[in-house]
Structure 1
Amino acid sequence: MLILGLLFVNANGVYASTTEEDDGYIQRSEIEHFMEIMAETETEQAREMNNELTKYMEENEEYLFAEVASIVDKYQVPDTTNQSDAMRYMEEVDPEALQRDFERIDTLAQEYYDYYQIHNEFPEDESSKQVSLRSMATSEALTVLKNAGIRMTERQLAARLAALGVIAAIDGPLPVGDFVALVTGAIIVSDYLSDYVARKDRLAQDIGNNEGRSFIKIVTESLSISETVTYEIKRNKVKHFRAFLNRLGGVIVGDPLTLSEAKLLARQEKDTFSVREDYAEKIVDQPNYKNVKHTPHYIDSRGNNRPANLPHWHLKKKINGSWEQIEGHHFFPWIGLK
């Protein structure tokens, strides 16, 4: 099951063309949208760059992407959102180890679910709410729940997932990844999304009663936003979006972008999100640049677990004679969205 740590921001504000064809030209509307994004920084560098781009458009009737890009490359517009600072100090962990944690918990939850179907109750030894610190330490997958205010062992979590699966009517336990997304406010894109949305009030009420009343609002908003994101991608066939880092892990998704707009933002070291890996790769496939792919950064500088983070590409630029990775993450989901 796929978790996307996404929060949808103003996706209806700008319409992005779905064309992925590169004819070497860029439209005036694309340049103007890029300039609007840069103007948000309210910096002198952005003003100077936008002035030069405006002059270029006044002097030409058609706009070559390479010529626009050469103007953009002359300026380094600082990021005033501070959204990218958090990623500079991320440490790598083995994504396979985290996935094994999730798979182990999901397998245990399936056993509990099957037991419940036969006995209409869970095994007695799991009714206790006592938390074992030893069992808490055995799984990195539980750290994010502890950070969110939920303390439980893997076996207690498995029992909860089984119960939530019954409520959600998904013919099995709630996947642990979906549960993590629900209680951290991340967006879910999964086969069960329509089932969750249909029962979002019951899910929110149950999680709120068991894990704390504050989770009712978080779960309800998570499901509502998830539904909106999925609909927007399918309706407008949007391939690329602006992106920012979410403090709880994952990605905040903003305005739709064309491929050309996304490429210009990449050169300015800004984050983007694409619906598939190959679309994200198109953003970093640019002349005079190299690129590198990273697995998700799951642990931040404070040791907090961020399992909703995503794989991504970086651009590499030649600086003082050597190729160096520059800021800007070009995220994509593990499983491509349609």
Structure 2
Amino acid sequence: MTDAAVHFLVPEGIEDDERVSGGNVYDRRISEGLRARGLDVRMVLVAGDRVQDVAHAMSALPRDALVLIDGLIAVAASEVLDAHSTRLRIVVLAHMAASALPGIQDDARTAEREREALNAARRVITTSEWTRSELIARALAEPDRITVARPGTDAVPAATGSASGGHLLCVGAVAPHKGQDVLVEALAGMTDLPDWTCSIVGSLNADPDFAIRTAAAIRSASLSERVGLIGVLTDQRLADTYRAADLVVAPSRAESYGMVVAEALARGIPVVAARVGGIPEAIAGSKAGILTPSNDPGALRAVLRQWREDPRWRAALKAEALRSRTVTRTWDESAGIAAAVLSDVRPAMDVIGYERRGAG
């Protein structure tokens, strides 16, 4: 008898607030959505760099078991996936083209492992059309095996913002690819402007050295009274922080989609974001989203200065954000796409039976 469960291999820190990431949030919300649809989802927590843990977990599964595996784990354990590719029904959830991440020291080897992992999968789910296009352009997976299931958003109250209109918010793990250093450099040229503050919310443990350098840059620019490294906020505290924000800034160097951008727009908060990766996709044509070149503090500063110096433009952006505030896709819809992919990956005996019936 075929195991009817979905064995979902995810990073062990998926429930750890200090290691919160868009990928972890996505994995949790998809698993919840699949369960709500009646699927028996069994979370298997593994360390991303512990290949032996992945090998042990996959070896323990029965033949034809359905395995959904986070892309970070899949790439690290590509040889394990290849070894089990005919025995298990593997679906890879690719949050990002791993070899496209900036700062990869051995991108050729990473691409080789990524290709091996994706070739071992029956199907691939990506979280953005941009990621899908990257996988295809890099010859990492065939187009007909890739399905896009963008992140969802929740129906939430509109943000009220502040009286001054000067509260900026940046949400994301403090790490080089999120570009908080670009934001700090941009803000360093705005000390002559009154009535603005910036809260940088996100884990300080993702890259401690980078977090330390970012804190030092804030002090060096005499921004300590205006810019705060808040750390992780969750649940109501995070919701309250969004509610008080006037503008969300996403200065990323790499982004597969931009869940923070979609979240801000769903709350009626204008966004200034780097034109990189899937961020334009998350903005989805909203006139309340302003795109700037990636890794360009000067360009970002110009937009932020205009935000503070031009109240009419600021009010127009806020009005547009509130007017166009919609939930473009719910998490249930995202989970439905994932469920359809999983249901298409049939056990070997089902495929044989289908082929025999077709031949008859």
**TM-score, normalized by length of structure 1?**
0.28
**TM-score (norm: length of structure 2):** 0.27
Q: Which has the higher contact order (CA 8 A, sep 6+)?
A: 1
